[in-house]
Structures are given as C-alpha cells and as structure tokens.
A and B are shown apart, each in its own frame.
Chain A
Amino acid sequence: MSKFVDRPRYTCALGGAIGTLINLPRVIPVLHAAAGCGGNIANALNGAAGYLGSGYCSGQALPSSNVYENEIVFGGEGRLTEQIANTLKVVDGDLYVVVTGCMVEMIGDDAKSVARKFAGNRAPVLAADTGGFKGNSFKGYDIVLELLFRELVIKNQSKDPKTVNLWGIVPIQDVFWKGNLEVLKTLLEKLGYRVNTFFGEGETLDNLKNAASAVFNIVVSDTAGVEPARVFEEEHGTPFITVPFPIGTYGTEQFLNAVGKALGIEEAFINRLIQEEKKHFYSYLERLADVYNDLDLQRYAVVVGDSNYAQALTRFLADDLGWLPELVVVTDLLTENEQERVTARFGNYLSPIRPKLVFDSDTSSVKKHLFNHWPINRNQRYYDGFNPAFVVGSAFERDLADSLGAPHLSVTYPISNRVVLDRAYAGYTGALRLAEDLFSTLVGSR
C-alpha cells in the first residue's frame, strides 16, 4: 500500500493547469469536471498563494461543466459542448482552454474533439487532458505549456536574434512569480534582449503566439517547464537551456553567465553587468554589517520548499548572509534523474558548510529529519543546541518553528500568513527584499 500524503504543497494537475491559465492575459479556462473541483482549487490557489485574489474570469468565477452522475454514465461531451458554447457567448476572452478533471478522464470523454468543433470561433478553443491523477501542479503547468507551444504558438516564424523566452517559474506555486519574472526580465533587458515571460507584467497573448520568433528559451528550473522546452524545440526548432532559480550574488551570477554563454554574449559584457549589479546590491547589504555583528544575527537554518526555491534559498543563506543552513527538505515529487540534477545544485559553497539534503513531501517529516541530523537534547550536561535558528519554508513550517523556538518566514508555497503582491526574491534586487524580510523578522520584537 502506498503511504498517505501529509499536507501536500501543491494541488493536482488540474489545479496547476488552472493556476497557469488564469495568469495568462485574457485566457479563459473552461473546466470539464465535477462542481467541487473548481471551488476547491480556487480556494487552494487563493488562500495559499499570499491572497492572490481573483480578477477577471478567475477565482470562483470560472466556467465549468459541473458534471453529475448523468454525465458520468452517458458521457459528458454534450454538456461540455453546451458549456463551451455558452462561455463563448458570455465570457469575453482571446483564448479558451478546456481543462479536464479526473472523472471525465476516467470515463474517456474526448475534450479535444469537442474543442475542435469550435474551430471557426473568433478566438481559439483548445483542450488539455489534465485529469488530477496525472500529477501535481507542476505537471499541470507542463501540460498547459506543451499544449500552447504545440497549438497556439505560430509556426515557421523568422527568428529575432534579440528576443528570448523565459519560463520555469510556475505561477502560484511560486507565490512571488510575478515579481520574480519581472526581475529576471529586467536583468536580461540590460543585456539588450526583449524577453517574453508570458505570465509577467505587461505581457500579452500575442507575445505567446509569436514566441517562436525568439532565438532562445531559458528555463529557470531543473524540473518545471523542462518538458515543454523539449516540445518547443521539436515544434519550432528553438534551443533551450535550464538554469537554476537565482537568489543573490552566486545564483544570479551563475544565471547571467549561463544565459550569456548560451546566447554567445561576450564575457566582458556580462561581467560588467554583474559588477554593476553587485555594486548596487552590496551598497545596501553592507549597511547591515554593523547590526549583524553587534546583535549577532547569524543563524542556523532549516530550508523547506520546492526544488527551485530550496537550492536558491540555501545558496543565499550560506553564501550571501553567512548563515548555517543545516537541513534542506525538498518537497517536490521528483524522478531519480530530477533528484540527481537538483542534488548537484547543493555544493561548492563559499564556506565549508554541507547542508543535509532530503527529498520528502510530508510536512511532519521535516522535524524527524532535523532530529536525525541534529540529535535532540536528552538532558545531557553539555548539549550543543540547534540555536539560534531560523526556519525558511512555507506557512506549514510555523509549527516546526514554534517547537524550535525559532523565527519563521514563509517563502515557499503555501503562504497563508503573508500578503504577496509584486514582491520578488529573485536576482540581486530580490535578494535585498529577502534580506529585509529575514532580518526584519529577527528585529521585529525589539
């Protein structure tokens, strides 16, 4: 028997697909699922992503076929046809994407052929098989991107050597996605590139439709968005690189060097940008040096989050703040290959620190792993306590932090104890925000 899942940090493939679609400009998801799916997912997405809120055709206001037993027995294609037709009448959008739930996948409804009936519509109607059982939110993101790259992005476009596409930062799963995309886009713009991020500020659906004119694709993840990049390459002949999500000097330098190398940018040009950015970064960070030393703000740390954030946060804490990340728990469901790729990101720290790395999706396991790594106090006369400590994770880590008597900052999904608007943690400027938030937590009681 497989084990139970303890407070998962993702929704299902359908949830991931909806989270992806509602953050594309003027794209309308049409759910083909039972009534509960849409409601539950909307709550999971809104409450767990820093109070995302809704907006146009989002949140609880999503078109859904709401299938009942009748549709399960006789097939729900008729109901879906009706739902699409009505949605086209009353909901104004530039692209409609049918996404399916478990029950209609199990009975074999052919959502794609239903969507094809609307081929003559002024806005395209597409369909993706996103039955929840296909995987978690990351899978839903991949499925939607693959669909859009295959069926929406216009083929045979001439390449513009100064345009790139950037993805791999999953909307909602990365609660700070919008700010993060903006930061990375701004950095690449400083290298003279136009950047399509699809989900970021000021993006339009035309950027996505014309994405094949980009000369390169940059996937800012070792896991999310990698399969879609392969699909993109197959469909449009655009090469791609994967780079880890960057926070702080080490990660962002690595990011810029990798992108520079892939695009054939002169090293000196990249280095000049890095130096400029670092100058700006340290001009602020150095102001903390006094208080860091006077109040002794160095901390042991536990980092809990998805593979994108875990490696970036650990790197930032160890190399930029000089903290001691002792335990890192990566909470994604990853294949062995993916685990290997992710593991490779936890090494070569500036200090001799070697954080203990664990792959485990269960929230209650974090404490167990910590005590395995750092023996618990059993009233020894001399005990080297895990203290002072800090927990960087999600809202789920509040209990762990309380039990350790440590402060806690929610950075990874789910985040229900903070409000997040355009905040970013990526790059150099994001790292300053993270330093502010971490140290503000420490001095908050003064």
Chain B
Amino acid sequence: MSKKTKQIAIYGKGGIGKSTTTSNISAALAAAGYKVMQFGCDPKSDSTNTLRGGKYIPTVLDTLREKNTVKAEEVLFQGFGGVYCVEAGGPAPGVGCAGRGIITAVQLLKQLRVFDELDLDFVLYDVLGDVVCGGFAVPIREGIAEHVFTVSSADFMAIYAANNLFKGIQKYSNSGGALLGGVIANSINAPYAKEIIDDFVKQTSTQVVGYVPRSVTVTQSELQGKTTIEAAPNSEQAKVYQHLAQRIANHTDSKTPTPLDIQELREWAAKWADQLLAMETGEVRSAAASI
C-alpha cells in the first residue's frame, strides 16, 4: 500500500506571491528528499514556471480542449528536484467558466489516480485566492486537500481575501472539507506589518506559520526562471523558505478558523488605520505614553 500523501492547498489574493511561495516550498521539500507535486489551479497557468526554468507546460484543460481523454503523462512534467508539475489551465479570459475548469481538471487527475501511482509525499495546490465561486473551493472540499495555508501580506485587500477564504473553509468544515493550517505572512518588512498579521490571526483563531520578508534575491531568481531554492540555495531567503517548508512538512493539526464578518473586518481595519496614522504623526500610544 502506498503511503499517505499529504495534500495541501495554498490560497492567496492574486499577485500576493502565492506561486512564488508555493514553488519555493515545493523546491525546498524536494531538496529535502520528499516526492512532491505542485498543481497550479489558476487559469493563468504560471504557477510552476519557476520550477521548470521559466517554461510553460501544456495544461490539463488545453489538452482536454483538443481531445476527450487525457493521459497522465500528457499533463505531468518534472521540474527542479523532480517536482511533478501540473497546470489546470482554463478558458480564454472573458469566456466560459474557469471555476468549472478547475473542478474538471482536479477531478480528472483524481480519476487518473496519479497521486497514488506516483507515491507522492506532498501535493501542493496553488489556487487563485478570492474563492469567487464553487470551482475555486474544490481543492478544500471533501477528499482533496486536508490542509489549507493562505499567503497574505499586511495589505487590507490581501487580508480581506484571506478572510473570505476562511469563510469558505468554515462552510466546508462540517462536511469533511480541509481545515486551516495557518497564514504565510509575505512581504513582511515593516514592524507594523508583522503586528497587523499577528493581530488578524489572533482575531480569526489561527496562526502564522512563517514570515517571509520581501527580498531582491527572489526577484533575481525569478528573472532567471528559477526558484530561490534553486538559484540561491545558500541565501538568507532560501533559509526562510526551507524553514517554512519544514514547518509545513511537520504540520499535522489544522483547525476551523473564525472569520470576521464584514462589519467586524471594517472596524478592525479602521482601528489599524488610526494606529498607523498615530505612528506616522509621532503620537505615543505605548506604555511610554504615561511618562
């Protein structure tokens, strides 16, 4: 019998660094000796680029568009460290239903039993993050991923998207869906950014699994079409990703988050807006205020 594959979904608002983070985690896990698959669930189909030297691969849906049946080897491509790369793909912008496309692609791979046959340790789904419809929730529904992580910066819109994802997780949590592992805090450089994320995870009963600073090393690596793990394995940034990957590999117990409702979220954001303004104008609000 094959070992239990750990299936993980990584969500986040568009442009927040999901694919960069996911690819580096995949690369780090592969470098640590695990068998890994990365499944890009975004119609842009560029999730696995940096694992494959910047090259695009044929997507599941592109292949389906041409013919009715698809074989595993037509859509599975190995990249850095032997990571299996799959892209769900999707329709041209503005037509069809990308959400249904994700469902079709994920179900097809499940039917082909590739997860079992490849004897994988990890499958990472890299999913477009706003969970706009049922299609983008399919990786967190019953029988697909068990753990969800979300990539978020301290920007309000990224947190808003993360909060929406928490709502999706909460909805499916009673019916055997995936639970939340935690937040991967990305682009955390300013001290207040860390505080904002820390406060958000406290409010929503979850945790931060890693803080990833913004780094020029990542940009340099991506311009070469590589992950940081591949291009600069000894850099500080690579250590951050290795640490994050280890944390995720060791992670076992995910929980149901407690998302804020829209009014609570607005109030929470307004409170932070006041605090940041006070910081900018030099007002002292800490314990030192009494001096």
Residues of A near any B CB (own CB < 8 A): 69-77, 106-109
Per the bound structure, the CA–CA distance linking A77 and B92 in Å amounts to 12
Considering residues B90, B97, B100, B101, which has the most beta carbons from chain A within 10 angstroms of its beta carbon? B97
Contacting residue for A108 out of B92, B95, B104, CB 8 A: B95
Per the bound structure, the CA–CA distance linking A15 and B92 in Å amounts to 31
Which residue in chain B gives the minimum CB-CB distance to A110? B95
Contacts of A71 in B (CB 8 A): 96
Contacts of B14 in A (CB 8 A): none
B81 in the interface, Cβ–Cβ < 8 Å? no
Interface residues of B in 79-103 (CB under 8 A from A): 90-92, 95-98, 100-101
CB of A72 within 8 A of CB of B64, answer: no
Per the bound structure, the CA–CA distance linking A210 and B253 in Å amounts to 72
CB of A74 within 8 A of CB of B104, answer: no
Which residue in chain B gives the minimum CB-CB distance to A107? B97
Contacts A69-B100, A107-B97 known; A75 to B91 CB distance under 8 Å? yes
B113 in the interface, Cβ–Cβ < 8 Å? no
CB of A75 within 8 A of CB of B96, answer: yes
Contacts of B101 in A (CB 8 A): 73-74
B65 in the interface, Cβ–Cβ < 8 Å? yes
Contacts A75-B92, A75-B95 known; A70 to B65 CB distance under 8 Å? yes
B151 in the interface, Cβ–Cβ < 8 Å? no
Rounded to whole Å, the gap between the CB of B53 and the closest CB of chain A is: 28
Would you give 13 A-B contacts (Cβ < 8 Å), ordered by A?
Answer: A69-B100, A70-B64, A73-B91, A73-B101, A74-B95, A75-B97, A76-B96, A77-B95, A106-B97, A107-B95, A107-B100, A108-B95, A109-B95
Contacts of B37 in A (CB 8 A): none
CB of A72 within 8 A of CB of B97, answer: yes
CB of A73 within 8 A of CB of B61, answer: yes
Closest 7 CB pairs of A and B: A75-B95, A75-B96, A107-B97, A73-B101, A74-B91, A74-B96, A73-B100
Considering residues A72, A74, A75, A108, which has the most beta carbons from chain B within 10 angstroms of its beta carbon? A74
Q: A74-B91, A77-B95 are in contact. List 5 more A-B contacts (CB 8 A).
A: A73-B100, A76-B96, A107-B96, A107-B97, A108-B97
Interface size on B, residues (CB 8 A): 13
Rounded to whole Å, the gap between the CB of A20 and the closest CB of chain B is: 29
Which residue in chain A gives the minimum CB-CB distance to B135? A73
Rounded to whole Å, the gap between the CB of B248 and the closest CB of chain A is: 31
Contacts of A74 in B (CB 8 A): 61, 65, 91-92, 95-96, 101
Contacts of A73 in B (CB 8 A): 61, 64, 90-91, 96-98, 100-101, 104
Per the bound structure, the CA–CA distance linking A150 and B100 in Å amounts to 35
Contacts of A106 in B (CB 8 A): 97
CB of B95 within 8 A of CB of A72, answer: no
Contacts of A108 in B (CB 8 A): 95, 97
Which residue in chain A gives the minimum CB-CB distance to B96? A75
Contacts of A76 in B (CB 8 A): 96
Contacts of A72 in B (CB 8 A): 96-97, 100
Which residue in chain A gives the minimum CB-CB distance to B133? A106
Contacts of A109 in B (CB 8 A): 95
Per the bound structure, the CA–CA distance linking A107 and B92 in Å amounts to 13
Rounded to whole Å, the gap between the CB of B106 and the closest CB of chain A is: 12
Per the bound structure, the CA–CA distance linking A108 and B92 in Å amounts to 13
Considering residues B96, B100, B101, B104, which has the most beta carbons from chain A within 10 angstroms of its beta carbon? B96
Per the bound structure, the CA–CA distance linking A70 and B61 in Å amounts to 9
Which residue in chain B gives the minimum CB-CB distance to A73? B101
Contacts of B100 in A (CB 8 A): 69, 72-73, 107
Per the bound structure, the CA–CA distance linking A107 and B64 in Å amounts to 18
Per the bound structure, the CA–CA distance linking A192 and B12 in Å amounts to 72
In the complex, per-residue mask of B61-86: 1 if CB is within 8 Å of any chain A CB, else 0: 10011000000000000000000000
Rounded to whole Å, the gap between the CB of A124 and the closest CB of chain B is: 25
Per the bound structure, the CA–CA distance linking A76 and B104 in Å amounts to 16
Interface residues of B in 252-276 (CB under 8 A from A): none
Which residue in chain A gives the minimum CB-CB distance to B68? A70
Contacts of B98 in A (CB 8 A): 73
Rounded to whole Å, the gap between the CB of B103 and the closest CB of chain A is: 9
Per the bound structure, the CA–CA distance linking A77 and B64 in Å amounts to 17
Rounded to whole Å, the gap between the CB of B128 and the closest CB of chain A is: 15
In the complex, per-residue mask of B1-14: 1 if CB is within 8 Å of any chain A CB, else 0: 00000000000000
In the complex, per-residue mask of B103-125: 1 if CB is within 8 Å of any chain A CB, else 0: 01000000000000000000000
Contacts of B65 in A (CB 8 A): 70, 74
Per the bound structure, the CA–CA distance linking A75 and B96 in Å amounts to 3
Per the bound structure, the CA–CA distance linking A76 and B95 in Å amounts to 8
Rounded to whole Å, the gap between the CB of A66 and the closest CB of chain B is: 15
Contacts of B64 in A (CB 8 A): 70, 73
Which residue in chain A gives the minimum CB-CB distance to B91? A74
Rounded to whole Å, the gap between the CB of A65 and the closest CB of chain B is: 14
Rounded to whole Å, the gap between the CB of B271 and the closest CB of chain A is: 36
Per the bound structure, the CA–CA distance linking A363 and B149 in Å amounts to 50
Rounded to whole Å, the gap between the CB of A93 and the closest CB of chain B is: 28
Per the bound structure, the CA–CA distance linking A397 and B104 in Å amounts to 44
Per the bound structure, the CA–CA distance linking A108 and B93 in Å amounts to 12
Rounded to whole Å, the gap between the CB of A352 and the closest CB of chain B is: 57
Contacts of B91 in A (CB 8 A): 73-75
Contacts of B104 in A (CB 8 A): 69, 73
Per the bound structure, the CA–CA distance linking A108 and B96 in Å amounts to 7
Rounded to whole Å, the gap between the CB of B95 and the closest CB of chain A is: 3
Per the bound structure, the CA–CA distance linking A75 and B65 in Å amounts to 11
Rounded to whole Å, the gap between the CB of A102 and the closest CB of chain B is: 12
Per the bound structure, the CA–CA distance linking A147 and B96 in Å amounts to 25
